[in-house]
Amino acid sequence: MSEQETNILVVGGGISGLTTAVEAAEAGYNVVLIEKEPFLGGRVARMNKYFPKLCPPACGLEINYRRIKFSDRITFHTLAEVEKITGQPGDYEVTVKAGARYINDKCTGCNACTEVCPVETPNDFNGGLDKRKAAYIYHQQVFPFQYVIDGSVCKKEACAKCKEACKYDAIDFTMKPESFVVKTGAIVLATGWKPYDASKMDNLGFGTSKNIISNVMMERLASQNGPTGGRIVRPSDGKEAKRVAFVQCAGSRDENHLAFCSAVCCLASLKQATYVREQYPDSKAYMFYIDIRTPGTSYERFLNKVREDENISLIKGKVAKVYEDPATGDVIVEAEDILAGKKIKVSVDLCVLATGMQPTVSEMKLPPEVKINENGFVVADSTRKGIYAVGCAKDPVDVSKSVQGATGAALKAIQTVGRKA
Amino acid sequence: MVDATLVKPDLDFVKGVIAAGGESLKKCYQCATCTVVCNVTPEENPFPRKEMVWAQWGLKEKFQGNPDVWLCHQCNDCTAYCPRGAKPGEVLGAIRKQSIREYSAPDFLVDLVNDKKFMALLFIAPAILLAVVIAAFGNFGIPGGEVVFTKFLPVLPIQLIFTPALIFGIAVGVLGVKKFWVDMKRANGVRTGDLKGSVIETAKEVLAHKKFKSCGINADRYASHLLVFYSFVALGIATLIGALYIDILHIESPFSFGRGTLVKLFGNAGAIALLVGVTMMITNRFKHQEKLGLGSYFDWLLLCIIATVALSGFLAQLTRIAGAAAIAYPIYFIHLVFVLSLFIYLPFSKLAHMFYRGAAMCFMKYSGREAQQAAAVSTTPGTGQSSGPGKETGSE
């Protein structure tokens, strides 16, 4: 097994991991960054806009990609996951397993392989809203800009149409998953989150109608590089989605699902309501909430701005029944309008479930001293002085807090490395 | 914001609800999931969300003449979907106990039935009463010869105890309902309505067990409650025919087949239905234990009384036929004690629901609220714009 030596290993290439890596490297430390997906960017790369400024996420990601690209201190591995962590602060040995990409770095991103690829599979990057080929790329702004072949569905040599089509000799089916060891002084866990499985809430209808989607799917639907090129339409029939309901706390703050507040969903729904309103002047958005949580001056200001739009209704009362009207494909949401004191049924084109953030750090093989709390996040004090959790591995946080936390984590990791030397 | 409301919290009421099985009350954070998943609530001013906040705040007066806590059939869909484990079903059950205390007099009998401490006393008191009467009029021992229960206690003293006991139970319930009805009219600003029509409609609804059919998670309750309900009807009919035979036709019990067939038919059909129904009720509770909880002492007291009545009644008949005097008479005694308890505690135990739930369902029709219902399914939310975080709805 090959070995690499570094100062800091960062697990996860989302906004937290990227920031940690860049900050530590620019302070003069060597970093190895591993990411389990074929591209960096994590959850942020899937977004249409950031709140509250409503600027595109590319503006935060691109600068970091550039800093990584031109740094001689950062090595990154995609399709890579941690297999084992041993050692102690200042002296860890981490076994990493990297999957096969089947496309080498001769790839120019010409798209010829995708064009000829006969295999289609649900596009998980877009939350299953469309399909993709086995040879693919998320979209045109990814990093690294190098296509990938999904080994789980590709027929490889038996098909090999892409190999004929590739003019650059970039397709290589002989690639194999390989393990290697990273010797590092400190480890930063930036493993992030995944959307909570909305089908677990049997009263919210997810999976029973195509027009009931999650908030993450809504970001893709509104994105220029998404399945519809940014047109917000009903997945069932492509009709313009002019009446949209946002169902808050779909799984969050619920001890049957995620007991904690996911911290971002209120702002995300307010933001998504502006997508709808911007796209269709005659549209209406309904947001059903328990409490609107927009802490801090700038978030409060954003809430007030959104609330000024009289076509966005904020209704106090959690939605507890969602179902499709089979005749029209419309979605009916039921709630109690608490302030009016009555049950209401609202018929909409599209229902967006503001599903919460489920931390993924517990899916990792961690050394026993790293403790996970009952919600699945790393207990901050349990990580000794050498393994640090950041972003949504530690708490449910938004992008700006992730970035702040990541800068702090970089400093902590540097201290661990410095202590050894 | 000049329309301030002076909130007068009654802490004893809150403590009372908590003590009566509503421990989870304070966990509620007013999301209104309960109201939405409830299939029996009206659409206008639905429950149980508003009851949860009233109870948290100790707004006792809101519950005076509130039919909604009684419209609740405790299917517990709300409890199953509650994101906080606040168990609205249990809390409303606890509030109903407070309501029983409010309307069924005297209070001390309500307290007796509600408190685990007094469980032994609940049955020892009627047992002593019966023992004294049996010693005076019958034979408090094991009479010899063929097993004939009238040797143990003749019919006349039975009627002298049980008839007044039942009349007492029903009278207390009826007086309670009258008070409750006045309160409901006042609290809801209802002056007049179609009483006869409402009573008839309510009776139809009860006989058809319509409401139970809308329960979600706990749908099995429909069958079990239906069985128990109609078994009581059958047993009541058997008892009436029995009284007819003895008092008017002067036919001695035990009845033989032939003339006694009707009594035996209704009696045994009722007994078997009751046994099956109550067994279903108990097993359902264990089946749904994880999602809905096992229920309170109050629930179990009634379940145990009914189960004992059914089981002892049926066994008394079997042992009588088998001629096992040494077992038959003690079992018969237990049967008498529990039937007497059932009658006396009728308006104080959970069985009081037959009075107050009946009255509340009737009031729904009388006040016209049910008729409004059907028309009021909106597709556009009303007050969305005025809403916002931080606005308190506790005193609406």
Domain chopping of chain B, boundaries: 11-103, 107-359
Please tell me the distance in Å from A230's CA to the nearest CA on chain B.
28
Cα end-to-end span (Å), chain B: 14
Of B44, B56, B38, B40, give the one whose Cα is nearest residue B94: B56
Check if the beta carbon of residue A337 is closer than 8 Å to that of residue B382: yes
Instruction: Decide if B388 and A314 are in contact by the 8 Å CB cutoff.
Output: yes
Please tell me the distance in Å from A211's CA to the nearest CA on chain B.
18
Which pLDDT score is estimated for B218?
Answer: 75
DSSP SS3 for B159? helix
Asked whether residue B392 carries a pLDDT value surpassing 70, the answer given is no
Calculate mean pLDDT across residues B230-240: 93
The Cα–Cα gap between A88 and A384 comes to: 9
Calculate mean pLDDT across residues B207-212: 89
Nearest to B381 among A307, A321, A337 (CB): A337
Confidence of residue B252 (pLDDT cuts 50, 70, 90): confident
Which pLDDT score is estimated for B289?
Answer: 85
Instruction: Decide if B84 and A255 are in contact by the 8 Å CB cutoff.
Output: yes
Domain B107-359 -> CATH class: mainly alpha
Which pLDDT score is estimated for B214?
Answer: 83
The one-character DSSP state at A377 is: P
Q: Residue A345, Cα to own-chain centre: how many angstroms?
A: 32
Calculate mean pLDDT across residues B202-209: 93
Of A212, A198, A216, give the one whose Cα is nearest residue A44: A216
Q: Give B32-46 pLDDT, tens digit per residue.
A: 999 999 999 999 999
The Cα–Cα gap between A266 and A280 comes to: 22
Which pLDDT score is estimated for B4?
Answer: 80
The Cα–Cα gap between B233 and B207 comes to: 11
Of B118, B44, B103, give the one whose Cα is nearest residue B70: B103
Q: Give A97-107 pLDDT, tens digit per residue.
A: 999 999 999 99
Q: Give B181-198 pLDDT, tens digit per residue.
A: 999 999 999 998 999 999
Instruction: Decide if B393 and A336 are in contact by the 8 Å CB cutoff.
Output: no
Instruction: Decide if A315 and B393 are in contact by the 8 Å CB cutoff.
Output: no
Interface check for B217 against chain A (CB to CB < 8 A): the answer is no
List chain A residues with pLDDT less than 50: none
Q: Which of A257, A336, A355 is best to mutate for the B interface (most B CBs within 10 A)?
A: A336
* Domain architecture of chain A: domains with CATH: 2-99+177-192+360-420 (3.50.50.60), 112-165 (no CATH), 196-357 (3.50.50.60)
Interface confidence, given as ipTM, is 0.90
For chain A, count helices (H), then strands (E). Answer: 8, 23
Instruction: Decide if B387 and A335 are in contact by the 8 Å CB cutoff.
Output: no
Q: Which of A316, A332, A345 is best to mutate for the B interface (most B CBs within 10 A)?
A: A316
Mean pLDDT, chain B, whole residue set: 88
Calculate mean pLDDT across residues B320-348: 94
Confidence of residue B374 (pLDDT cuts 50, 70, 90): low
In chain B, which ranges are E strands?
none
Interface check for A261 against chain B (CB to CB < 8 A): the answer is no
Which pLDDT score is estimated for B199?
Answer: 95
Longest dimension (CA), chain A: 70
Q: Which of A256, A344, A346, A348 is best to mutate for the B interface (most B CBs within 10 A)?
A: A344
Asked whether residue B388 carries a pLDDT value surpassing 50, the answer given is no
Which pLDDT score is estimated for A262?
Answer: 96
Nearest to A342 among B33, B44, B391 (CB): B44
| Continuous H helices in A197-288 | 215-222, 265-279
Check if the beta carbon of residue B77 is closer than 8 Å to that of residue B39: yes
The one-character DSSP state at A379 is: P
User: Which residues of chain A from 235 to 254 reach within 8 Å of chain B, CB to CB?
Assistant: 249, 253-254
Identify which has the larger pLDDT, B256 or A291.
A291
SS3 assignment for B205-226: HHHHCHHHHCCCCCCCHHHHHH
The Cα–Cα gap between A77 and A75 comes to: 7
Check if the beta carbon of residue B182 is closer than 8 Å to that of residue B191: no
Nearest to A339 among B36, B83, B383 (CB): B383
Which pLDDT score is estimated for B215?
Answer: 82
Which tokens in the block code for residue A350? 């599209």
Check if the beta carbon of residue A69 is closer than 8 Å to that of residue A137: no
Chain A residue closest in CA terms to B30: A290
Interface check for B379 against chain A (CB to CB < 8 A): the answer is yes
Q: Give B279-308 pLDDT, tens digit per residue.
A: 999 999 998 888 778 888 889 999 999 999
Instruction: Decide if B36 and A318 are in contact by the 8 Å CB cutoff.
Output: yes
Q: Give B6-59 pLDDT, tens digit per residue.
A: 888 899 999 989 988 888 999 999 999 999 999 999 999 999 999 999 999 999
Nearest to B35 among A203, A254, A343 (CB): A343
Q: Give A152-174 pLDDT, tens digit per residue.
A: 999 999 999 999 999 999 999 99
Which pLDDT score is estimated for A195?
Answer: 96
Interface check for A341 against chain B (CB to CB < 8 A): the answer is yes
Superfamily of domain B11-103 in CATH is Alpha-helical ferredoxin (1.10.1060.10)
Contacts for A112-118: CB closer than 8 Å, 24+ residues apart = A112/A162, A112/A165, A112/A166, A112/A167, A113/A147, A113/A149, A113/A162, A113/A165, A113/A166, A113/A170, A113/A171, A114/A147, A115/A165, A116/A161, A116/A162, A116/A164, A116/A165, A117/A154, A117/A161, A117/A162, A118/A159, A118/A161
CA dihedral (A254, A257, A258, A262) in degrees, to 10, reads: -70
